[in-house]
Homo-oligomer: A and B are copies of this chain.
Amino acid sequence: MKEHMTELFPLCRSITGEGVRETLRAIATRVPLELREVASGTQVLDWTVPDEWNIRDAYIARDGERVVDFASSNLHVVSYSEPVRQELSLEELRSHLHTLPEHPDWIPYRTSYYDRDWGFCLTQRELESMTDGAYDVVVDSTLEPGSLTYGECVLAGEVSDEVLLSTHVCHPSLANDNLSGIAVLTELGAALASRPRRLTIRLLFIPGTIGSIAWLARNEAVTERVVAGLVVACVGDAAPLTYKRSRRGIAQVDRAAGHVLGQRDGGRVVDFVPWGWDERQFNSPGFDLPVGSLSRSREGEFEEYHSSADDLDLVSEGQLEDALAALLEIVDVLERDERYVNLAPRGEPQLGRRGLYPSVGGGAQAEEQLALLWLLNQSDGRSSVLDVAERSGLPFGVLAAAAERLVGAGLLAEAPPP
């Protein structure tokens, strides 16, 4: 996954533009992604799709030498900067320059999507080395009607109930936020595409906010089928995994993710707040979709947030793999949770003569036997395997496997729908 991130790192993404399209085409080589276009000016819920922004080059030069150069980092240009070709003094230039004084070697990441403006970002050190004089300022961009692009991949399952998995693709050269989300969601999609599915999986690679709003505006009928969802971002840094609950708080996805993170050291579960990433739109009260958010550090929680220090050294393959594993576990819980009825509910059944003594040895044996007993005790048609996982503290996977053995032994049967 870090390889994928490295490939995508230099592309200049924004909420629209070729950088996004190139990124989505790269993802589409790994998962069956379809690109969707929404024309600038389209009304989407309370918003309007903005003009499309593209940039070829930008620099500040002095005596023919570039002192700030888009080619060396796409963070140098404020996203959505309108075209500029001027000669300006340092004084006139200053108000268009952005730095991080408290981090003199970092370039900030700035955007100006909804105010027509232009600017450059650079390190505080670079700024301080600029002397008075005439600067050639060039932003070779276009900002004109075009379209917004997002990627969508639907992996059909046995049922039309959907799990919505979404990540944002609108940031340029920032690794954790959010090439990590792009890499992990791509890998997750590839893994889910290659295995049987009960639930339908829908992956979205979207520009933040305007992307989810555009998707919601065009997919009302789909939202009725969303039974669970996760917005994935910032999953590569050193912090432990964090799950932020949906607005509902106790939806199945909240319980599934809570269980999976609870089985790990250091996993953190936080309550819903209407701040963060695209979960804000999915959880708006008119949709109230059961969509949580999985990340490591959350927005603003890491020092390097929205700066050039959010580079490929900040994320590790191990953390990406671990996030992917957690996501696969959460989807597994959603896929396999089931209510059962104990067919021999009066007293415990005799496990020995049914060959139900644990099939594994050692410490796992005690856990497996307890799993059998918990399922037998709790399966009155109302409690599901996830309910039992919460009550017993046993891992869902162990319980689901034990349930299968009990079904095979004729002791458990799937409960009828309520």
Interface residues of A (CB under 8 A from B): 44-47, 114, 209, 212-213, 216-217, 247, 271, 273-275, 280-281, 283-288, 342, 344-350, 352, 370, 373-374, 376-380, 391-392
- B46 x A342 contact (CB < 8 A): no
Q: A370-B275, A373-B274 in contact; A284/B350 too (CB < 8 A)?
A: no
Residues of B within 8 A of A213 (CB): 347-348
Q: Known contacts A274-B374, A373-B275: does B285 contact A345 (CB below 8 Å)?
A: yes
Beyond A213-B348, A284-B376: 19 further Cβ-contacts under 8 Å?
A: A46-B348, A46-B349, A46-B350, A114-B352, A212-B347, A216-B346, A217-B346, A217-B347, A271-B391, A273-B370, A274-B373, A274-B376, A275-B370, A280-B348, A281-B347, A284-B347, A284-B377, A285-B345, A285-B378
| B-chain residues with CB within 8 Å of residue A346 when the two chains form the complex | 45-46, 216-217, 284, 286-287
Given contacts A275-B373, A374-B274, A377-B247, contact A45 B286 (CB under 8 A): no
Q: A284 — which chain B residues lie within 8 A by C-beta?
A: 345-348, 376-377
**Would you call A286 and B46 a contact (CB within 8 A)?**
no
Task: Give the complex CA separation of A376 and B275 in angstroms.
Answer: 12
| A–B complex contacts, Cβ < 8 Å, 28 sampled | A45-B347, A46-B346, A46-B348, A46-B349, A47-B350, A209-B348, A213-B347, A213-B348, A217-B347, A273-B374, A274-B373, A274-B376, A275-B370, A280-B373, A281-B348, A284-B345, A284-B346, A284-B348, A284-B376, A284-B377, A285-B342, A285-B345, A285-B376, A285-B379, A286-B344, A286-B345, A286-B346, A287-B345
- Alpha-carbon distance between A373 and B287 when the two chains are bound, in angstroms: 15
A interface: dominant SS: loop
Please give me the residue from chain B that is nearest to A223 by CB atom.
Answer: B346
Query: Which single member of B209, B342, B392 contacts A286 (CB below 8 Å)?
Result: B342
Name the distance in Å between A288's Cβ and chain B's nearest Cβ: 8
Q: A370: shortest Cβ distance to chain B, in Å?
A: 6
Q: Chain B contacts of A342 at CB under 8 A?
A: 285-286
CB-nearest residue of chain B to A378:
B285
Instruction: For A373, list chain B residues within 8 Å (CB).
Output: 274-275, 280
The 9 closest A-B pairs by CB, nearest first: A286-B345, A286-B346, A274-B377, A45-B347, A274-B373, A46-B349, A285-B345, A285-B380, A213-B347
Q: How many angstroms between the C-alpha atoms of A286 and B45 in the bound complex?
A: 53
Instruction: Report how far A376 CA is from B286 CA in the complex, Å.
Output: 10
The answer to whether B347 touches A216, judged by C-beta atoms less than 8 angstroms apart, is: yes
Taken together as a complex, chains A and B put the C-alpha atoms of A45 and B377 apart, in Å, by 15
**Shortest CB distance A104–B (Å):** 24
Q: Report Cα–Cα, A345/B282, bound state, in Å.
A: 11
**In the complex, A168→B346 CA distance in Å?**
20
Chain B residue contacts of A45, Cβ below 8 A: 344, 346-347
Considering the chains assembled together, what is the distance between the CA atoms of A212 and B347 in angstroms?
8
| Closest CB in chain B relative to A380 CB, distance in Å | 5
* Assembled-state Cα–Cα distance A347/B44 (Å): 9
Nearest B residue (CB) for A382: B285
Q: Name the CB-closest residue of B to A342.
A: B285
- Closest B residue by C-beta to A282: B347
Asked if A47 and B285 sit within 8 Å, CB to CB, the answer is no
Are B273 and A392 neighbours in the complex by a CB distance under 8 Å? yes
